[in-house]
């Protein structure tokens, strides 16, 4: 699975052949089918384990409570933290989701994402209602921008680089809440 995930991340799901994965594992392609039903089921396991962990972490943040800014900050940190161990899964989501979503078996991922959207949008709206966030922005649109910006970072983010996950998360949160301008709003 780990080897397959890396190949999917590097070359893309479609461009990775079952034979590639087997080669990497040092076995024959047919032998893979002793462990997996199909190529689809491999990527399914990769993605679902990623989503399961992310959802659990998100729920934990919600349960800890706090004002919307705190909650959003923690959610963002969650994402960037997840980026490292699930780099491959995120990469697949970014590059291959448009292909994978056509298969019924991945419907559950679309539903999971909808639930996540409700969770984030709920926090943004609460922030607007309590006067913490500007109310001239669209909550749903803002969520999508946040979401996309975070996950797409997988394409260039290097944990070994100058900024680690925490560092990038904080940088991102800083821009998100206060913008890049100086001076009064």
Q: How many CB atoms lie within 10 A of CB 179?
A: 9
18 binds, among DNA, its own copies, none (CB under 5 to 8 A by kind): DNA
All residues at 6 or more sequence positions from 51 whose CB lies less than 8 Å from its CB, including other chains: 109, 112
Stretch of residues binding DNA (CB under 7 A), selected from 16-24, 80-88, 114-122, 143-151? 16-24
Per rule CB under 8 A, is residue 142 in the interface with its own copies?
Answer: yes
Question: Which of positions 29-68 make contact with DNA (CB under 7 A)?
Answer: 29-31, 33-35, 37-40
CB of 62 to its own copies, least distance (A): 19
DSSP 8-class letter at 59: H
Rounded Cα gap, residues 118 and 116, in angstroms:
5
For 47-114, the DSSP string reads: HHHHHHHHHHHHHHHHHH---HHHHHHHHHHHHHHHHTTTHHHHHHHHHHHHHHTTSGGGHHHHHHHH
Interface size with its own copies, residues (CB under 8 A): 47
Quick one: which H or E segment has residue 6? helix 2-11
CB of 103 to its own copies, least distance (A): 11
Q: Which of 2, 10, 17, 60 binds DNA (CB under 7 A)?
A: 17
Residues that bind its own copies (CB under 8 A): 11-12, 14-15, 69, 91, 94-96, 98-99, 102, 124, 127, 131-134, 136-138, 141-142, 144-145, 148-149, 152-153, 155-156, 162-163, 168, 171-172, 174-182, 184-185
């Amino acid at each position: 699975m780990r080897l397959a995930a890396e190949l999917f991340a590097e070359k893309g799901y479609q461009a990775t052949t079952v034979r590639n994965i087997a080669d990497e594992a040092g076995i024959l392609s047919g032998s893979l089918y002793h462990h997996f039903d199909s190529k689809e089921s491999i990527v399914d396991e990769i993605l679902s384990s990623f989503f399961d962990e992310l959802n659990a972490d998100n729920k934990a943040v919600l349960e800890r409570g706090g004002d919307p800014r705190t909650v959003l900050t923690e959610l963002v940190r969650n994402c960037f933290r997840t980026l490292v161990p699930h780099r491959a899964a995120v990469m697949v989501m970014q590059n291959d989701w448009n292909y994978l979503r056509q298969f019924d078996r991945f419907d559950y991922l679309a539903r999971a994402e909808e639930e996540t959207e409700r969770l984030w949008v709920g926090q943004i709206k609460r922030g607007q209602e309590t006067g913490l966030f500007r109310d001239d922005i669209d909550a749903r649109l803002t969520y999508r921008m946040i979401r996309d910006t975070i996950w797409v970072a997988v394409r260039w983010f290097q944990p070994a680089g100058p900024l680690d996950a925490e560092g990038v998360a904080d940088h991102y949160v800083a821009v998100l809440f206060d913008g890049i301008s100086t001076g009064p709003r």
